[in-house]
Structures are given as C-alpha cells and as structure tokens.
C-alpha cells in the first residue's frame, strides 16, 4: 500500500550534516534547579547526538511526567512530553509505526518504575528498539518529595515521616528480569562515563535501559554520595568493562571472584588471589548479568557501574516489518476490495 | 401426505443449544444461505460469557437468531416463529420469546432425566402438556444421526456432534432453503478430512430429507427474495465492519493503519480481524493494558499513522486520561467503544448504550471530543470511515460508539468499491518557513500535522498547555482560556461538515421519536407497525452526538412531545434537555438486550392516548 509516509520512511541520506552539540539545544531556558543532576545528563546526550549517525529530523525524545520528563523540551529534535508513566507505550507505538526513527525516552524512577512499571516491563520484553534513560533520584521531586519505588527502606520523606517500609526495586535487575537487551548504569558526576553509556545505548539495536544516578539537590541531596564521591567511590563501586577482570579499589587492589555461585570480594595484595582468579566481565552472558546486577544492594559488595548486559537479537519493530513483508511475499500484496468482499459473498443481478 | 406452502413476508428462527452444540455455526449457515438467496437478514448471537459452561445447564445455553425477510427486517427480530432447541435447558431459556402457536423443533435426546433436572423442569415438557399453544415437533436427533452414520467408522462422540447439521437440514426444508451454499461450505471447511466431510454432508442432507419424508411437518414456509439493489453482497457483523472501515479509511487517507488494543469483550473481534490484515501493510500491537493500547496509538499517530484503539466500557474508563492528552496534542485518533452493560464488569456480553455521557464529558478539564454512533452492523463501516475523516481533518480524537448488539449481530452488506468511497486524505506540513505547531487552518481550526522525519519542522508537543501558534509551553492564564475556547470551537465547527437530519414523517406534529445507536432498528419496526394503524409519528435518528446536527433544535421545536428510547437510564435525554431546554420523555431499558418494536410502539401509543390523540 502506498502512503504519504513512504517518502519520509524510505528517504535515503547520502550525507548526514555535520552537527555540533549546539545544534541539539532547544532555544529555551532549562528550568531544572541549580545543581540538578539533569544538567549533566542533558549535556552528555547533546554531546553524543552529532555522532550517532542519524539526521536530526529522525530523532524523537518521548517522556512522561516528572522533573526528568521535561527533557524533550530542551532538545532541538522532535519531542513529545506526555502523561505520567506512559512514555514507553507511546514510544513503542511510535517506533513500530516508524522504524526509521531513533526513539529515545527520558524518564524517572517514579515515572518508569511505578506508574509506568507495566509499560517498562512489557516494552523491555518485546525488545522494542528504544533508548531509555532513567534518571534515578530515588524520590518524587516534582510533587515535592515523596518516596519512590527506588527509595531506600527507612528513608524519611514527606510521605514517610517515620521511614519507608517498602523494599525498593533494583532497576537493573527489573530490566534484566523483564528481558532488556541492553542494561547499563552510570552517575551524573561522571560525564565521560555517561557519554560512553549513551553512545553504547544509541548503537544498540533493541531495548536499551540506562539508569543514571541523578542527584536531587532539593529533596534527596547526597543520596548517591557514597557511589559518586571520589573519597568513597573506588571501594563502593566497580566499573565493568567487557573482557576485563572485575577489579576495583583505590589502587585496583580489590577484585571479585566467584565463590560457588556467589560473588565475593578478595584483596589481591594479600597474595592468595591473582587477577587470573577474578571474574572476567562478559556483557553477553545473561547469567553473569543477573549476578552482577544483584550485587547492587549487597553491602558487602561494590555497586556495579557500566554496561551490565548487551545482547543482540531481533527487535520487535523489525519483526513486525518482517512478518508483514513475509506475508506479502508469500501471498502477494492484499487487495482491499477482496478483503471487503470476504470469502462468502454473492451477487444480486 | 401432501405438503402445503405458506408464504410469509418475514420470519424469525432461533437455534438454541448447549454452548458446545455448534449453534453459532448453525445460525451463521442459515443466515448466510438466506442472504445469498436474496432475503434481507439480521442476526444476533446470544452466548454465555463462560467459554464452555457445564453441559446441559441453563447458564450454558447458546443461541443464534435470524430475522429474514422479503422486506426490511431492521433488527434480529423480537418474537420467534421457530425455535430449534437441542436440549431442555435451551427450551426453558428461550420459550418466553416464542410467538403464540410458534413452532418448536426439539431434540428429544436432550430431554432425558438428567437434562430435565439441570434445566429445572419438574416433568418433561414434551409430554406433560405444558407446551400446549405451540406446534411441537420432537425427534430424537441423536438417534437419527447415529442411524444415518452407522456405516461410518467414527467415534460416537463425533457422530453426536453432527446433530446440529441435522437440525439445520430440517430448518432448510421447513423454509425451503437451497442446500448448495452449506454443502459448498462443508466441502471447503472439511475438504482435508474426507470422512468427516462426508459424514457432515450426509447428516445435513438427512435432516432435510427427514422433513420431506416426515409425516407431521405438513406446512412449509416461503420467504421470497427481497427487491435488492444490484451488486455484490456479503453478511457482516458490526465488529468486522469497524475493522474493515479502519483499513479502508487508512487507504482513503493514504496513511498506514496502526491499531493499539487490549482484549475486551465484546470489542476483541476487531483486534482479531485487524491482526489478520498484515498483507495490507496494517500494523497492530496487542498491548499490556488498555492504557498502553491508546497511548501506543497516540505514539503512532504522532508518527503519521491513522491510529485507532478499540475497547468496551471498562477499557474506555482506563483510556480517559490518554484521550485528554490526545485533545491537548491535537492529534488524530479513532477510539471505538463497543458498549456493554455496566458499570464495572456488568454484563460483559450484553449490550447497553450507557457510555454516552462518559464519551461526551468523562474527562478532566475542558476536553471536547467529537462523538459518533453507528446504528446497524453495516453502518459501523460507514461511521468508522467518518470518524477517521473527522479525526484527520480536524486533528482530534474521535469516539465512535457501537454496542454489543450491532457489533456481534450481522446483516447483509452491499459491498462498496473503493472508488465509491470518499477521499479523506490531508497533507502533512512540510514548509519550514511557514510552519508553527499551533498555527491553525482558518476554516477548521485544525493545527498542521508535522511528522518526525520532516527536516526543519522539529518541534515539541505535550500535555502541558501550549502557546497558541508557537506551541511553546505557556502558563499564561489568558492563553489557556483562549486555547480551551479554540479547542471547543474546533469541535463545534464540525457541525458545518455533517449532514442535516432528515425527518422520517411529517415535519411537525404530536410526537417526535429521537433515537441514537442501535435502537434504530427497533424504532423503525415500531414505526412501521404504528403506521399500519394510521398513527402519525415522526422520527429522527442521530449518528452524530457531538456536535449534534445543526437542525435538530428546529426539528424538535415543531413537535409537542419528544420521546427518546435508549438502553440506559436517560443519557441522550439529559443531553437534549440541557441543550434545547425542553422536557423529553424517556423510555429506558437496561436489561442486557435491546428494545422490542412492541415496547417502543406501546410507549408511543400510551403517550398519544394520554394526549387524547385519535387516529
């Protein structure tokens, strides 16, 4: 069937303009609070955009509701600020209808994991080719400080004056458990690391889930200090690199081995273990990904940062197109008049 | 024994049995054959919400009713001329609808002690005289099919399963239907399994011959072909017509079709049909919930597809917030609500018209949405295309209301060619010099549709209020008022683009009957019966509920009384009273079925009598 969209969808680009990050800055003021983690995320996203190999007009940012969801207004590409929790369902419909677009979702811990939790797990399991950046600040900020599904047990917020009772989601485990084919974690005060993760997400064909620890200076200031400050970060986090052993510490003196099926910290300086005994990170190993992600909330273990998992498999939007093409190839393009007539028809002469 | 033919203008037959007895298939065959021989046909399936309710129970009864005639039937019919009942429970459930002296074709094998007990009969109605007043013909159909198939090496269960075809054959004999259409169908359906095919063909023919050779069925009925316009015809249900309407609308709009949906009775069939349209380039997503159904469609619409979502009442409730978003975004979207009896789960398989006020007003904020309603199964096709036309032209979500009655009921449809249907295409925005997201068409007030992929038109939209013209986020109070008023006026202006009502009957008088949706058929039949008595009543039928047709107020002002029959507790009545400031008489029914013509006719007579109007 010929449609008005065919020209746009099939347009061939011999050359993509040489953009600069500035080309992706929308001509309006960014209205996040001074010191908000959002700024550095925005700036890194704008920085990778010239290099992802997609013409500007083919890029769409979709969001839901929350501080993070103002993101599309700040990007000078196509943008869609929707309603609470629904960005991933909107993005799914958009990507399936328009596989030619590069579709991004900016969301937060409340938007994505609470009101939008259902859409998160289903977009993830379908492997729709969408890049999700989840700003995790472990709080509802736009509604002024209630606990979120990633807030910690005991955390005192406006809606939990005596401490949060519910256990939080571990976002990377939820993403892995629901079938995400790309799962990564970074934090707002490490721009070059973030930039790398966004580039990887952009390259990945399939559902990419990138969790960024984003400090909320107003309602949850310092929530991630332990993992982001240079005084504590070397021992509280571990940076995952594909094909490399799991080492961390101020002088890379610490490592992770497998003790049975449990990861365990060892000190390489003690002489009992060498680098050869350590777990080698393999992004493509789904079992290892679950084990590494599960380290996140274990106080005995460093919190993993970087690309936890990356799997290559057909995307949902590709499969929709393939199924259509396959049927057309086998049965020929449908004639609507035949369809209207159906199998059981008769003629009055 | 000599057989006598009696010619009748119309007749109603209902096949009833256990939900596993194949009654839907039997009814469909009778209906297809009748339509093919030129009768006008209306059907309605009536089945329990349980998939396979326990055998023989009252709540497990499944039925299929066919109203066929030489003249317009309009509805699946009120009272039944012939009831085919395969067991005691199906007789018990359906007997109340059979006409006085109507024909009962009963399968004796379904009236054993166990069946009687399950149907809560104290004694066997075939034998205890309680069916006096009907023409009862009871045969042991199980016994008959076993005899017919004695040479077939088939398990007894499979043999028993053919009994519906025996009953169908008998019904064909009774109404003088040709056997070929069903024989062709059986050949096609069971072509791969010769033994099963031959068994079915043999039993079907045996049922017919049983009538011909029988001693007691002395009268046969003839329903002549109607005087129909030349052309290609088929039977179609409302749900199928909506699905086809969406596919055709997309083609006429030169847009790809996208359906985002979630299964819900009685709307699910639309999803089934559309999921089969892959060859036509149609994309669909069965989403994780109703909200994702509509929001995925909104995403596809943003991408430039003709997008639709289909649902029933509980699903419409869940889609409300997203409909408000579509109003704010001003993106085209077709929302089909196949109404069922509510609130909550209500009577999931039964029709009602009780979502009207929700469709009109059930959103937070000032969120006007055009609302259309289909009146018959085939009208679902036309109104779906109309909903798409309005959605695209005015850049707005549109709600199309159908209901379980016309969605599942079928009638013969004169299949149009694509050329006969209107071109509803519009052009996407492309000019970056003149483009602004909310710079409107001065006539329709529609904003331009700029889809991703268009160079230079990168813009941001969203649920936050936008500045008129530029589309930038705006908290300016005066701008918000202006935008609310513009959105309202945009929907009101559609009135210029919809047909005026044509009154059926005199332009003024004592009583105007106003109907909407599926009550059209019952109202037509009621009017026909009253006009035979020389009573003067006028009728208008509303397909557009928002905006209402421009001349409705003037028409109403020419009548002393106005009657609105509807399957709710008075929702159109509220709308008309508020809008035209005059009292309306309601006739309201929420019993999980539609009006009989008699109910409407009686109400009209009662009103006219109280007025002292004589013939």
Identify whether B525 is part of a domain.
yes
For residue B343, is the peptide bond before it cis, meaning its omega torsion is within 30 degrees of 0?
A: yes
Based on the fold, state whether residues B268 and B321 are members of the same structural domain: yes
Based on the fold, state whether residues A261 and A287 are members of the same structural domain: no
CA distance B605 to B608: 5
The minimum CA-CA distance between B189 and chain A, rounded to whole Å, is: 12
Identify whether A166 is part of a domain.
yes
Region of residue B11 (phi > 0: left; psi between -120 and 50: alpha; otherwise: beta): beta
Does B51 have pLDDT greater than 80? no
Q: Domain limits at A269?
A: 245-280
**Tokens (6 digits) for A240:** 């995952």
With CB atoms and an 8 Å threshold, state whether A93 touches B296: yes
Distances from the Cα of B149 to the Cαs of A51, B206, B246, B455, in angstroms?
75, 10, 46, 72
With CB atoms and an 8 Å threshold, state whether B247 touches A9: no
CA dihedral sign, ordered B56, B61, B62, B64:
positive
CATH number at residue B11: 3.40.920.10
Does A128 have pLDDT greater than 80? yes
Looking at residue A181, its pLDDT comes to 98
- Nearest chain A residue to B247 by CA distance is A336
B289-329 tens-digit pLDDT: 999 999 999 999 999 999 999 999 999 999 999 999 999 99
Identify whether B229 is part of a domain.
no
Based on the fold, state whether residues A92 and A139 are members of the same structural domain: yes
Quote the crossing angle between the two packed helices B268-275 and B238-253, to the nearest 10°. 50
Q: DSSP states of A193-225 as a string?
A: HHHHHHHHHHH-SS-EEEEEE---TTTSTTTTH
Residue A347, chain B, CB below 8 Å: the answer is yes
Identify whether A349 is part of a domain.
no
A224-252 tens-digit pLDDT: 999 999 999 999 999 999 999 999 999 99
Based on the fold, state whether residues A125 and A255 are members of the same structural domain: no
The minimum CA-CA distance between B369 and chain A, rounded to whole Å, is: 18
Q: Say yes or no: ipTM exceeds 0.95.
A: yes
Looking at residue B52, its pLDDT comes to 75
Identify whether A267 is part of a domain.
yes
Identify whether B19 is part of a domain.
yes
| Mean per-residue pLDDT, B199-214 | 94
CA distance A26 to B316: 36
Based on the fold, state whether residues A274 and A305 are members of the same structural domain: no
CA distance A79 to B141: 67
Length of chain B: 615
Based on the fold, state whether residues B487 and B575 are members of the same structural domain: no
| Mean per-residue pLDDT, B234-252 | 97
Based on the fold, state whether residues B155 and B97 are members of the same structural domain: yes
Count of domains observed in chain B: 4
Based on the fold, state whether residues A56 and A115 are members of the same structural domain: yes
**Tokens (6 digits) for B358:** 């929700």
Using the 3D structure, point to which of B420, B441, B471 is the last residue of a domain.
B420
Looking at residue A348, its pLDDT comes to 87
CATH number at residue B523: 3.40.50.920
Identify whether B531 is part of a domain.
yes
- Nearest chain A residue to B381 by CA distance is A340
**Taking all residues of chain B, what is their mean pLDDT, rounded to a whole number?**
95
Count of domains observed in chain A: 2
Based on the fold, state whether residues B205 and B105 are members of the same structural domain: yes
Based on the fold, state whether residues A107 and A24 are members of the same structural domain: yes
**Confidence tier at B344 by pLDDT (50, 70, 90):** very high
Looking at residue B218, its pLDDT comes to 78
Based on the fold, state whether residues B164 and B265 are members of the same structural domain: no
CATH number at residue B263: 3.40.50.970
Using the 3D structure, point to which of B399, B420, B441 is the last residue of a domain.
B420
Looking at residue A227, its pLDDT comes to 97
Looking at residue B2, its pLDDT comes to 59
With CB atoms and an 8 Å threshold, state whether A337 touches B417: yes
Based on the fold, state whether residues B284 and B370 are members of the same structural domain: yes
DSSP B279: G
CA distance B109 to B123: 15
| Mean per-residue pLDDT, A199-209 | 98
CA distance B439 to B449: 10
Based on the fold, state whether residues B438 and B585 are members of the same structural domain: no
- Nearest chain A residue to B257 by CA distance is A97
Looking at residue B612, its pLDDT comes to 66
Identify whether A347 is part of a domain.
no
**Confidence tier at B231 by pLDDT (50, 70, 90):** very high
Please state, for a pLDDT cut of 90, what percent of chain B lies above it: 93
Give the strand order in the sheet containing A262-267. A247-248, A254-259, A262-267
H helix or E strand, kind and range, residue A308: strand A303-310
CA distance A227 to A237: 6
What residues of chain B lie within 8 A of the CB of A57, using their CB?
A: 452-458
Nearest-by-Cβ selection for B298 from A4, A90, A345: A90
* Binding-face residues of A in 67-126 toward B, CB within 8 A: 72-73, 76-83, 86, 89-98, 100-101, 118-119, 121-122
Based on the fold, state whether residues A287 and A270 are members of the same structural domain: no
Looking at residue B348, its pLDDT comes to 92
What residues of chain A lie within 8 A of the CB of B463, using their CB?
A: 65, 81-83
Identify whether B269 is part of a domain.
yes
Q: Domain limits at B197?
A: 4-222
CA distance A203 to B570: 58
Based on the fold, state whether residues A270 and A321 are members of the same structural domain: no
The minimum CA-CA distance between A339 and chain B, rounded to whole Å, is: 8
Cα separation of the two ends of chain A: 31
CB-CB contact of B368 with B485 (8 Å): no
Identify whether A313 is part of a domain.
yes
Nearest-by-Cβ selection for B460 from A81, A95, A323: A81
Looking at residue B4, its pLDDT comes to 85
With CB atoms and an 8 Å threshold, state whether A347 touches B457: no
What residues of chain A lie within 8 A of the CB of B35, using their CB?
A: 346
Q: Return the residue matching tokens 């035979």.
A: B532
* Binding-face residues of B in 319-338 toward A, CB within 8 A: 321-322, 325
Length of chain A: 349
Identify whether A36 is part of a domain.
yes
Looking at residue B613, its pLDDT comes to 56
**Residue B215: alpha-carbon gap to chain centroid:** 41
DSSP B20: T
Based on the fold, state whether residues B414 and B558 are members of the same structural domain: no
| Mean per-residue pLDDT, B65-93 | 95
**Residue B148: alpha-carbon gap to chain centroid:** 39
DSSP helix/strand/coil, B374: coil
Nearest to B575 by CA among B398, B358, B373, B365: B358
Based on the fold, state whether residues A228 and A275 are members of the same structural domain: no
Based on the fold, state whether residues B83 and B207 are members of the same structural domain: yes
What residues of chain B lie within 8 A of the CB of A344, using their CB?
A: 32, 36, 185, 234-235
Query: Residue A303 pairs with which residues in a beta bridge?
Result: A237
Based on the fold, state whether residues A42 and A68 are members of the same structural domain: yes
**Tokens (6 digits) for A188:** 């707002």
Distances from the Cα of B342 to the Cαs of A231, B312, B350, B520, B573, in angstroms?
62, 10, 9, 21, 19
Identify whether B572 is part of a domain.
yes
- Nearest chain A residue to B250 by CA distance is A3
**Taking all residues of chain A, what is their mean pLDDT, rounded to a whole number?**
97
| Mean per-residue pLDDT, B441-452 | 98
Based on the fold, state whether residues A171 and A229 are members of the same structural domain: yes
Based on the fold, state whether residues B129 and B215 are members of the same structural domain: yes
Q: How many CB pairs under 8 A join A and B?
A: 227
A21-45 tens-digit pLDDT: 999 999 999 999 999 999 999 999 9
Identify whether A265 is part of a domain.
yes
Q: DSSP states of A56-120 as a string?
A: GGGEEEEE-SSSGGGGGGGBSSEEEE-STT-HHHHHHHHHHH-TTSEEEEEEEHHIIIIITHHHH
Using the 3D structure, point to which of B497, B526, B548 is the last residue of a domain.
B497
Best of A17, A19, A97, A104 to mutate (most B CBs within 10 Å, chain B): A97
Looking at residue B614, its pLDDT comes to 47
Based on the fold, state whether residues B241 and B288 are members of the same structural domain: yes
CA distance B246 to A281: 50
| Mean per-residue pLDDT, B403-425 | 95
CA distance B502 to B534: 21
Identify whether B596 is part of a domain.
yes
Contacts of A111 (CB under 8 A, 6+ apart): A63, A64, A65, A66, A68, A69, A84, A85, A87
Identify whether A142 is part of a domain.
yes
Based on the fold, state whether residues B393 and B447 are members of the same structural domain: no
CA distance A220 to A237: 20
Looking at residue B213, its pLDDT comes to 87
**Confidence tier at B615 by pLDDT (50, 70, 90):** very low
Identify whether B227 is part of a domain.
no
CATH number at residue A75: 3.40.50.970
What dihedral angle (degrees, nearest 10) is formed by the CA atoms of B25, B28, B30, B36?
Answer: -140
B480-524 tens-digit pLDDT: 999 999 999 999 999 999 999 999 999 999 999 999 999 999 999
H helix or E strand, kind and range, residue B333: strand B333-339
Based on the fold, state whether residues A254 and A116 are members of the same structural domain: no
């Amino acid at each position: 069937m010929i449609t008005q969209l065919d020209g746009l969808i099939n347009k061939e680009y011999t050359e993509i303009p040489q953009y600069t990050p500035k080309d992706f800055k929308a001509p309006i003021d960014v209205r996040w609070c001074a010191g908000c983690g959002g700024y550095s995320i925005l700036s890194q996203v704008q920085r990778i955009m010239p290099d992802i190999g997609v013409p500007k007009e083919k890029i769409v940012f979709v969001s839901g509701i929350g501080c993070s969801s103002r993101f599309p207004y700040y990007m000078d590409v196509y943008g869609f600020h929707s309603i609470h929790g629904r960005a991933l369902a909107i993005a799914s419909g958009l990507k399936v209808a328009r596989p030619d677009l590069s579709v991004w979702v900016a969301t937060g811990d409340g938007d994505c994991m609470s009101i939008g939790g259902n859409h998160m797990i289903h977009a993830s399991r379908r492997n729709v080719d969408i890049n999700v950046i989840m700003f995790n600040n472990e709080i509802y900020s736009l509604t002024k400080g209630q606990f979120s599904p990633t807030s910690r047990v005991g955390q005192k917020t406006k809606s939990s004056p005596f401490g949060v009772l519910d256990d939080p989601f571990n976002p990377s485990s939820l993403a892995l458990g629901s079938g995400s084919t790309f799962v990564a974690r970074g934090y707002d005060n490490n721009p070059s690391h973030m930039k790398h993760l966004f580039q990887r997400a952009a390259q990945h064909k399939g559902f990419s889930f990138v969790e960024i620890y984003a400090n909320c200076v107003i309602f949850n200031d310092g929530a991630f200090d332990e993992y982001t400050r240079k005084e504590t970060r070397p021992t509280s986090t571990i940076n995952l690199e594909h094909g490399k052993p799991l080492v961390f510490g101020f002088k890379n003196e610490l490592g992770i081995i497998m003790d049975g099926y449990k990861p365990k910290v060892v000190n390489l300086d003690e002489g009992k273990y060498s680098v050869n005994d350590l777990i080698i990170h393999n992004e493509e190993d789904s079992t290892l990904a679950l084990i590494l992600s599960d380290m996140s909330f274990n106080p005995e273990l460093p919190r993993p940062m970087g690309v936890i998992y990356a799997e290559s498999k057909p995307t949902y939007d590709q499969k929709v197109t393939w199924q259509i093409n396959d049927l057309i190839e086998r049965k020929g393009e449908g004639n609507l008049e035949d369809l209207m007539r159906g199998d059981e028809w008769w003629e009055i002469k | 024994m000599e057989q006598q033919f009696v010619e009748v203008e119309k007749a109603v037959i209902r096949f009833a049995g256990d939900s596993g007895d194949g009654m839907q298939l039997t009814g469909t065959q009778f209906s297809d054959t009748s339509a093919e021989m030129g009768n006008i046909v209306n059907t309605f399936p009536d089945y329990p919400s349980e998939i396979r309710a326990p055998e023989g129970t009252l709540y497990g009864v499944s039925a299929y009713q066919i109203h066929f005639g030489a003249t317009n039937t309009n509805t699946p019919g009120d009272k039944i001329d012939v009831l085919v009942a395969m067991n005691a429970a199906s007789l018990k459930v359906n007997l109340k609808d059979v006409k006085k002296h109507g024909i009962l074709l009963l399968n004796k094998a379904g009236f054993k002690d166990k069946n009687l007990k399950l149907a809560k009969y104290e004694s066997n109605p075939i034998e205890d005289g309680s069916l006096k007043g009907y023409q009862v013909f009871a045969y042991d159909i199980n016994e008959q099919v076993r005899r017919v198939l004695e040479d077939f090496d088939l398990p007894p269960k499979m043999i028993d399963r053919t009994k519906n075809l025996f009953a169908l054959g008998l019904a064909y004999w009774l109404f003088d239907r040709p056997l070929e259409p069903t024989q062709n169908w059986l050949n096609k359906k069971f072509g791969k399994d010769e033994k099963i095919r031959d068994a079915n063909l043999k039993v079907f023919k045996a049922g017919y011959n049983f009538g011909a050779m029988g001693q007691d069925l002395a009268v046969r009925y003839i329903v002549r072909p109607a005087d129909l316009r030349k052309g290609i015809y088929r039977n179609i249900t409302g749900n199928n017509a909506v699905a086809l309407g969406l596919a055709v609308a997309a083609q006429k709009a030169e847009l790809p079709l996208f359906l985002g949906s979630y299964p819900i009775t009685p709307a699910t069939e639309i999803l089934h049909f559309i999921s089969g349209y892959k060859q036509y380039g149609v994309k669909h997503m069965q989403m994780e919930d109703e909200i994702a159904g509509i929001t995925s469609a909104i995403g596809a619409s943003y991408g430039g597809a003709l997008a639709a979502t289909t649902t029933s009442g509980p699903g419409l409730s869940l889609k409300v917030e997203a409909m408000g978003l579509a109003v704010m975004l001003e993106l085209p979207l077709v929302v089909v609500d196949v109404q069922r009896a509510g609130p909550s789960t209500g009577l999931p398989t039964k029709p009602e018209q009780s979502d009207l006020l929700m469709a009109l007003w059930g959103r937070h904020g000032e969120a006007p949405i055009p609302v259309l309603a289909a009146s018959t199964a085939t009208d679902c096709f036309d109104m779906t295309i109309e909903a798409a036309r309005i959605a695209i032209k005015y850049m707005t979500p549109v709600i199309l209301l159908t209901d379980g009655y016309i969605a599942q009921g079928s009638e013969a449809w004169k299949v149009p060619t694509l050329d006969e249907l209107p071109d509803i295409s519009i052009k996407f925005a492309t000019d970056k010099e003149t483009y602004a997201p909310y710079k409107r068409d001065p006539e329709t007030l529609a904003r331009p549709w700029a889809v991703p992929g268009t160079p230079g038109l990168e813009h941001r939209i969203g649920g936050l209020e936008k500045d008129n013209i530029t589309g930038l986020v705006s908290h300016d109070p005066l701008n918000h008022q202006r935008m609310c008023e513009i959105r309202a006026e945009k929907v009101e202006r559609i009135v210029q683009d919809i047909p005026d009502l044509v009154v059926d009957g005199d332009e003024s008088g004592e009583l105007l009957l106003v109907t909407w949706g599926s009550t059209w058929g019952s109202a037509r039949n009621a009017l026909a019966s009253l006009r035979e008595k020389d009573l003067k009543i006028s009728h208008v039928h509303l397909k557009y509920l928002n905006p209402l047709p421009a001349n409705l107020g003037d028409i109403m002002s020419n009548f002393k009384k106005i009657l609105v029959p509807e399957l709710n507790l008075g929702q159109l009545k509220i709308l008309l009273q508020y809008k035209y400031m005059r009292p309306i008489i309601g006739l309201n029914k929420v019993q999980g079925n539609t009006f009989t013509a008699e109910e409407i006719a009686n109400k009209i007579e009662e009103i006219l009598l109280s007025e002292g109007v004589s013939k």
